[in-house]
Amino acid sequence: MTSTTLKIGPYELQSRLIVGTGKYSSLELMQQCHHESGAQVVTVAVRRERLLDKNSGRNILDFIDPQKYILLPNTAGCFNAEEVVRVAKLGREMLTGSGYRGADWVKLECLGDTKTLLPEPVGTLEALKILVKDGFQVLVYCSDDVMLCKRIKEAGAAAVMPAGSPIGSGLGVLNPNAIRIILEQLKENDPAYPIIVDAGVGTASDVAAAMELGVDGVLLNTAVAGATEPAKMARAMMLATESGRLAYEAGRIPRKLYATASSPWEGRINV
């Protein structure tokens, strides 16, 4: 028995885990972690080609199988709408006709500053509107502000992706209450609308807890790439995503203050 599938933009996904490609000590290790994670979508960043020191000519795409993975280009490192739109278009151009899937969508990331790496809401909304008009399916990294998430959905985002906690912090979902309200508000009369927790998870229990809230998926990078044994953590994240989702779909029992016996009272021999 497996959990239900997830539809985002043009893609229907069996795996609800999206993983990054950054911070790995080698491209071979990244490849192994992608495999262990069971993810079908991997994020990539757009950067200037290194013209002089070409890193022995190896390109990250040589380690990502186009049959197995859909690429999700991000706009990481952008601090205003103009930069976001420019980078999104470059990512689309690179994927167009490349043999890889993913040219039609983008992970919008518009940051406020380099220390917090928190999303900048005004630039995020501004860039979103431009990208939607340009035909992109936009997955929007944002803060866990309920009203902002509503505005982002209304502006035509393909998915809203609130941060659980700051990027790379490993703090997990700091405000599950906000995520619950976001889920209620954005999924009202639209239960399939995708909400992804993007950023901040540190270990498997953080992912399972996020999934048990009812989010549609988790996007992570550092929690795997920075683990002592990344491939093991990738496997753990795959299991946590699936088990958290199954638990959500199964419907947990209510919390109670006192005990309820599991064995019957009737028929005890010591009465």
Partner 1 sequence: MELCVNGEKLHLPDGATIQALLDHYKLQSVRVAVELNRDIVAKKAYLNTGLKSGDTVEIVTFVGGG
Distance of closest approach, residue 86 Cβ to partner 1, in angstroms? 8
Stretch that binds partner 1, among 59-67, 146-154, 231-239, 261-269 (CB under 8 A): 59-67
- DSSP-derived letter for residue 119 is B
| 129 included as an active-site residue | no
DSSP-derived pairing of the beta strands 137-142 and 159-162: parallel
Instruction: Work out whether 199 is an interface residue with partner 1 (CB under 8 A).
Output: yes
Q: Which of 4, 10, 12, 47 binds partner 1 (CB under 8 A)?
A: 47
Site for partner 1 in 71-130 (CB under 8 A): 71, 73-74, 76, 86, 89-91, 93-94, 96-98
- How many CB atoms are closer than 10 A to CB 28? 10
Instruction: Work out whether 200 is an interface residue with partner 1 (CB under 8 A).
Output: no
Task: Give 93 or 249: the residue with its C-beta nearer to partner 1.
Answer: 93
Residue 11: strand pairing partners: 8
Rounded Cα distance, 72 and 41, in Å: 7
State the catalytic residue, choosing from 107, 115, 129, 256.
107
Instruction: Work out whether 232 is an interface residue with partner 1 (CB under 8 A).
Output: no
Residue 200 backbone class (left: φ over 0; alpha: ψ -120 to 50; beta: rest): left
Two tokens at 184? 């209620």
Distance of closest approach, residue 23 Cβ to partner 1, in angstroms? 7
Distance of closest approach, residue 24 Cβ to partner 1, in angstroms? 6
Cβ within 8 Å of residue 127, ≥6 positions away: 75, 78, 80, 81, 84, 85, 88, 108, 110
Rounded Cα distance, 267 and 238, in Å: 44
Q: Site residues (CB under 8 A) for partner 1?
A: 20-24, 30, 43-49, 51, 54, 57, 59-61, 71, 73-74, 76, 86, 89-91, 93-94, 96-98, 167, 199, 219-222
